Structure 1
């Protein structure tokens, strides 16, 4: 079986080398640069624009109300103070989304 694999590999190697050389020539030649420039403007930029539009539309339909606070015992455990600020808020704390151990800031029920 190994002999068959070596034999087929020996037969295919020249074809693969020729194909690699051909792709290399296209990628590095004058025509290759022109192809990538066209692809950038025709495929990449419209793709980025569609992604930006999708993000904008999803942000417009997103609910801006605060999620309900449920005091689960396994979440928001503070066994040690954070080394910044008052020691209770994470580094990228957002008072609208991130709850403290006793609830949201400024939200007293």
Structure 2
């Protein structure tokens, strides 16, 4: 029984020593990995975000800001129940320029 205890302690010491060596090697690899990700962030990610922002800015400049034509389709803008805020006719995120009410856009006398 004592021999089994000595053997298990020897194996435990050997495995701990090997684990310590692996951890130190992993730490050196981790520093290299962090450096690689830092370089990739500055060289790939930030310029990629900048190009996407430029693309969206240019597309917004070409976008028409005219109000769409109001066509009173019977299946659109149904109000079977009033909204629980305001006058009950405007949606929660109502945009007077883009969102028509059942009888047309606000501020237009047609």
TM range (shorter): 0.7 to 0.9
Match of 1:95 in 2: 96
- After TM superposition, the score normalised by the length of structure 1 is 0.73
In structure 1, C-alpha distance between the alignment counterparts of 2:64 and 2:98, rounded to whole Å: 12
Deviation, 1:84, is: 0.9
Q: Distance in 1 between matches of 2:109 and 2:51?
A: 42
TM-score by length of 2: 0.72
Alpha-carbon distance between aligned partners in 1 of 2:30 and 2:104, rounded to the nearest angstrom: 62
Indicate the residue corresponding to 1:53 in structure 2.
54
Displacement after TM superposition at 1:108 (Å): 1.6
**Distance in 2 separating the partners of 1:50 and 1:72:** 41
Query: Structure 1 residue runs of 4+, over 2 Å off?
Result: none
Separation in structure 2 between the aligned mates of residue 104 and residue 31 of structure 1, nearest angstrom: 60
Unaligned runs of 5+ in 1: 1-24
Q: Please give the per-residue CA displacement for 1:29-62, whole angstroms capped at 9, x wherever unaligned.
A: 1111111111111111111101110111111111
- Per the TM alignment, residue 64 of structure 1 is displaced from its structure 2 partner at its CA by 1.1
In the alignment, structure 1 residue 39 sits paired with structure 2 residue 40: yes
2: distance between equivalents of 1:97 and 1:41? 39
The residue matched to 1:29 in structure 2 has which SS?
helix
Structure 2 alignment gaps of length 5 or more: 1-25
Aligned residues: 84
RMSD: 1.5
